Amino acid sequence: MERIKIGIIGAGRIGKLHAENLKQLPQVEIKTISDIFADNIRDWAVQNGIANVTADYQDIMRDPEIAAVFICSPTDTHIAIIEEAAKAGKHIFCEKPISFALDKTVQALELVEKSGVKFQTGFNRRFDHNMSRIQELVREGKIGDTHILKITSRDPAPPHKEYIPASGGMFIDMTIHDFDIARFMVGSDVEEVFVQGAVLVDPVFAECGDIDTAIISLKFKNGALGVIDNSRQAHFYDQRVEVFGSKGCLTIQNDYPSSAELYTADGVYRDKPLYFFLERYNEAYVKEVKAFIDALVHDTPVPVSANDGYQAELIAHAAKLSLQEKRPVKVEEVLTQWHISV
């Protein structure tokens, strides 16, 4: 069996993580990794059996042996790379968000579609053992028709100050995962969004024109309602979901480092949940790349499509508009705003 040759573009935290997970898959060879600071990663690449390191990702595009690329570079580089990869006939795994500009996302995805390459959006949470289990139970009809979706999604601590202005704002940076999980759980697109947002954690968010706390109401096209609550500072990674329907309710809780509990005269104590996404979604990242590779090997559809990436961005832009205009916003209004014809 010949191994699928992969190129990885961007060797930051997430690029390295994907590389280390891909390394475990016998069907895969990571042929080349590119990073603008190529020298910084040479040792790491050797330790991980990656043959080529380059500062120029075009080396990957030009290599006819490379069948698929992982786009792990900063968001503002995504569109150009996607377009080049599509033209080069390389399958694409792209980190979220696809871009900060909805019209460019649309253009790029149209090109992808025409080119016929596969495109998977990096929504790792769908592969989480908790998330995937309740989605499966929803799909099996265990709760009947879905009436209410609830997502709690809170980061342990705010990002660095420098990161905030470049993040695209909380919705496109952080909540985008929740928008995807919302669609994943309910099995329907979103029709309307209303945001109550606030700066309660750190005034730096206000200085950057951003928020750090939000309650986001959703109305889905199938009639279900939903709510996401976000905070940039929960002291651990608080990621819980509840799906309520005509027959019952499904819930998932946080994951813990252990089940140890200490009972004393002063009360009952246990360690807090896992601190952040690398711990919590460790296995989900493995399953995510495995699912992409499986889709390549068997030439089957990828489990998280380009449209999934686009839809989550659409909701994020609607949320932004709702926050600005302090009113409920139809998701389709965003199309008008961005001059997109469906």
Within residues 252-281, the interface with its own copies by CB under 8 A covers 252-255, 257-273
Q: Which is nearer to its own copies, 69 or 214 (CB)?
A: 214
Asked if 207 interacts with its own copies (CB under 8 A), we say no
Cα Rg of the chain (Å, integer): 20
How many CA atoms lie less than 13 Å away from 104 in the CB half-sphere?
Answer: 14
Q: Closest Cα partner for 191 from 313, 103, 315, 306?
A: 315
CB of 227 closer than 8 Å to CB of 124: no
CB of 80 closer than 8 Å to CB of 105: no
Amino acid sitting at position 333? E
Asked if 236 interacts with its own copies (CB under 8 A), we say yes
What are the tokens at 209? 């024109």
Asked if 250 interacts with its own copies (CB under 8 A), we say yes
Asked if 30 interacts with its own copies (CB under 8 A), we say no
Query: Which residue from 55, 215, 278, 297 is in contact with its own copies, where contact means CB under 8 A?
Result: 215
Which range, of 9-17, 116-124, 135-143, 295-303, touches its own copies by CB under 8 A? 135-143
Give least dist CB 4 to its own copies, A: 16
Q: Closest Cα partner for 206 from 323, 31, 70?
A: 323
Query: Which residue from 63, 80, 219, 333 is in contact with its own copies, where contact means CB under 8 A?
Result: 219
**Residues 252, 257, 260, 263: is their CA dihedral positive or negative?**
negative
Residues 35-94 that bind its own copies (CB under 8 A): 47
Give least dist CB 148 to its own copies, A: 5
Residues 291-320 that bind its own copies (CB under 8 A): none
Query: Which residue from 73, 105, 120, 213 is in contact with its own copies, where contact means CB under 8 A?
Result: 213
Q: Which is nearer to its own copies, 148 or 291 (CB)?
A: 148
Which residue bears the tokens 């496109």?
Answer: 172
Q: How many residues bind its own copies, per CB under 8 A?
A: 71
CB of 282 closer than 8 Å to CB of 15: no
Give least dist CB 163 to its own copies, A: 21
Whole-angstrom distance, CA of residue 44 vs CA of residue 267: 46
